[in-house]
Amino acid sequence: MAVVKLKKIGILGLKEKLEHILSLLQKEETFHIVDPQLSEDTDILNTFFTPASSPRRVEVEEALHTIDAALKNLDSLREERGLFEGLLPERILVEAEEIEGIFEKFDYKAVCKDIEKTRFALQKLEERISAIQQEIQSLLPFRELPFSFNEIKKTISLPLKFIRVKEKNREEWEALFQSVPETHLEKIGKSQEENFYIIFSLPSREEEVTEIIKEHGIEEFTPPDLDEPPGERIKALGKEKESLLKKKQEIREEVKAYLAKERNLKIAYDYYYLLFQKELAYEESRESKCTFILVGWVPENEYGQLTGWLGRNFPETACIELPMDEEEKVPIKLRNHSIFRPFETITRLYTLPRYGEVDPSPLLAPFFAFFFGLCLTDAGYGVILVLVSLFLMKKLTVGKDMLKVILIGGITTIFWGIITGGWFGIEPDNLPAFLQKLIIFNPLKDLMTLFVLSLALGMIHILFGIGIEFYEKMRKKMWLEALGAELSWLAIIPGLIMYYLFQKTSPLFSRIGIYMALGGLIISFLPCFQKGQNPFLKMLAVIGGFMWKGKDFLGNILSYSRLMALGLATSVIALVVNTLAGITSSIPLIGIGASIIVLIGGHIFNLTINTLGAFVHTSRLQFVEFFPYFFEGGGKEFHPLSREGKYTLIITRR
């Protein structure tokens, strides 16, 4: 249980077999390949072996790039996405044979090219449509003009000016131009805010007109180059637009056909993705003229199996166990009983343990589960959580571990809900009799019980953390440290609690408690007797550390009061929802309907926000309060050469 022991091994074999060996390793998914890091003392190896370069890498990368681009194009072609679509990660479930045989019936290159073409065509269409719309907009003011602009320009041989004038000072401008003799001002168009004019005058007056335009900052415009009257042009454009829109619809239909091929495209992507992983592994190996070396990690319990089939299939291959450096970063693989496995996700949220450290997943599991439940404390909500997580576990292909955590949390929520009488915020007095009998205390009336319970759970959590560290130090034979820093506290705190608890009832136990606490205090000075250190300085360090730890301990335990606060928040908000529903039900006519909406909406809302809160704060209690007592972390994940794709999940039939 916990962190899996690994072996570092080197595989030495014939170069021509490397590709095949890698394929088998990829299927077995037990070998984490690393760079061989041939150091100075392996000089000989360095002269013979050079980094291998994979023969197919360029080709594979090209294919990946093509399919990726096609998938992105397809995504941009998809018309509309639901708000929550793509929120939950989904994988395509396939059998290994389907990936391997994907190209027998599916020509990805042709499909990719078609998708690219379609996207290009659609883009062109859209550009043209928006250009038409713009042109129509610009012609709209002149739609009543009975002749074309080019006609005007051809017919009138006098100097012409086209101007646009804001509606609000129209009369003023008109008067200005009309005051110039031998000049004509003709209105040719009108939009909501502007008027468009054409001005022509005798050549001798042209300068005068130009002067007025300049002086008053009047805007001129270039008439569109049109041989037909604007009205007709608008009509023609409208027709073109209509036919383009129809075409667009047709292309949309085509896209639907491509979307049906998305699954195959994704499988094809993973085909190359898996190949790419293999090529990367290839490049981690070293090669000489005819041989190769591959170095990596394998779980101890799978080592025999690995060497077994290597020897059977490739008798000329040698498998050597390599020495492990003290400082070496061994990859981390966690293995736990199936009940605890979901809680590995919680550990991963923080960080993986280092090699040789304990795996905190099974240790935090019971605390996480019960704290989560205490933050909700409503059996009704617990039932909903259980049902929802079971449903999603059936529906989804990934993220099941997280759902299992919620499922277990849902069960503990039911437990806390039953003993505190929390059922959708219904007053305990109104519950059925058999449920009332199960109630141990009502947190809304008995706040102090809940408060003490929260802190007591916190104290157990922290003492457990100290206990783990004690065990770890004993295992590493750091006797004095373990006794002084950990066992002392394990005696002092329970001792003091015993002293206070039994002060009135049992003087004997009370006295035992006081002795325990004193004993703990004494052994906390044990580290002063470590060899090779100035005992006086050491004593100062011990006293300082002792006080610091005491302060930490107090603060940490108080932090568990959040369990109470969050639990209360859930129950009181549920109560508020019920009260509000009660108030709305008295509204005439719509009362019942409205109160049902308030009830359902309110409880769903309360459940969602408090489940999030419960998860986050329970995680925090593990990371900030529990872990510092024994856990550091910082390991890197064991990542074997595997068949884990980007879009697919292979159904194994082992």
Partner 1 sequence: MLSALGLALAIGGGALAVALAGIGSAIGIGHAARSAAGVLSEEPEKFGSLLILIALPGTQGFYGFLVGFLVLMKVGLVSGQIPPITVYQGLQIFFASLPIALAGLLSGVHQGKVSAAGAGVVAKQPSAFMKAVILSALVETYAVLGLLGSILFLNGIKVG
Place of tokens 């002067």: 211
Among 41-49, 493-501, 517-525, 562-570, the segment contacting partner 1 (CB under 8 A): 562-570
Cβ proximity to partner 1, 265 vs 492, nearer residue: 265
The pairing of strands 219-220 and 32-34 is unpaired
Among 39-47, 116-124, 533-541, 557-565, the segment contacting partner 1 (CB under 8 A): 557-565
- Using CB under 8 A as the criterion, what x/- string covers residues 394-433 for binding partner 1? ----------------------------------------
The two three-digit tokens of residue 440, written as one number: 């141990």
- Quick one: which of 550, 560, 548 has its CA closest to 626? 560
Cβ proximity to partner 1, 448 vs 651, nearer residue: 448
Cβ proximity to partner 1, 87 vs 589, nearer residue: 87
Residue in 240, 535, 579, 637 binding partner 1, rule: CB under 8 A: 579
- Alpha-carbon distance of 113 to 387, in angstroms, equals 46
Using CB under 8 A as the binding rule, whether residue 554 contacts partner 1 is answered as no
- Alpha-carbon distance of 52 to 70, in angstroms, equals 31
Using CB under 8 A as the binding rule, whether residue 573 contacts partner 1 is answered as yes
Among 6-14, 243-251, 571-579, 644-652, the segment contacting partner 1 (CB under 8 A): 571-579
Using CB under 8 A as the binding rule, whether residue 613 contacts partner 1 is answered as yes
Give yes or no for a contact between 141 and 195, defined as CB atoms under 8 angstroms apart.
no
Q: Helix axis angle, 591-620 relative to 561-584, nearest 10°?
A: 170
Using CB under 8 A as the binding rule, whether residue 559 contacts partner 1 is answered as yes
Beta strands in 376-448 (DSSP E): none
Q: Which residues contact 24 (CB under 8 A, 6 or more apart)?
A: 309, 313
Number of residues that bind partner 1 (CB under 8 A): 30
Using CB under 8 A as the binding rule, whether residue 129 contacts partner 1 is answered as no
User: Least distance from C-beta 625 to partner 1, angstroms?
Assistant: 11
Cβ proximity to partner 1, 451 vs 471, nearer residue: 451
- Alpha-carbon distance of 494 to 520, in angstroms, equals 10
The two three-digit tokens of residue 498, written as one number: 């015993």
- For residues 333-347, one letter each, b for 16 or more C-beta atoms within 10 angstroms of the residue's C-beta and e for the rest, the string is bbbbeeebbbbbbbb
Place of tokens 């884990």: 644
- Using CB under 8 A as the criterion, what x/- string covers residues 616-645 for binding partner 1? xx-xx--xx---------------------
Among 80-88, 133-141, 266-274, 530-538, the segment contacting partner 1 (CB under 8 A): 80-88
SS3 45: helix
Cβ proximity to partner 1, 351 vs 510, nearer residue: 351
Residue in 44, 76, 83, 304 binding partner 1, rule: CB under 8 A: 83
- Alpha-carbon distance of 435 to 450, in angstroms, equals 19
Among 170-178, 226-234, 362-370, 570-578, the segment contacting partner 1 (CB under 8 A): 570-578
Residue in 43, 44, 76, 87 binding partner 1, rule: CB under 8 A: 87
The burial of 153, by beta-carbon neighbours within 10 Å (0-12 exposed, 13-18 middle, 19 or more buried), is given as middle
Residues 336-395 that bind partner 1 (CB under 8 A): 349
User: Least distance from C-beta 361 to partner 1, angstroms?
Assistant: 15
Cβ proximity to partner 1, 449 vs 642, nearer residue: 449
User: Least distance from C-beta 86 to partner 1, angstroms?
Assistant: 5
DSSP designation for 189: E
Residue in 38, 405, 564, 581 binding partner 1, rule: CB under 8 A: 564
- Alpha-carbon distance of 22 to 31, in angstroms, equals 10
Report the residue count for the chain: 654
Give yes or no for a contact between 376 and 611, defined as CB atoms under 8 angstroms apart.
yes
User: Least distance from C-beta 586 to partner 1, angstroms?
Assistant: 13
Give yes or no for a contact between 1 and 335, defined as CB atoms under 8 angstroms apart.
yes
Cβ proximity to partner 1, 88 vs 456, nearer residue: 88
The two three-digit tokens of residue 517, written as one number: 């606490």
Give the binding site for partner 1 (CB under 8 A): 81, 83-84, 86-88, 349, 447, 451, 559, 561-562, 564-566, 568-569, 572-573, 576, 579, 609, 612-613, 616-617, 619-620, 623-624
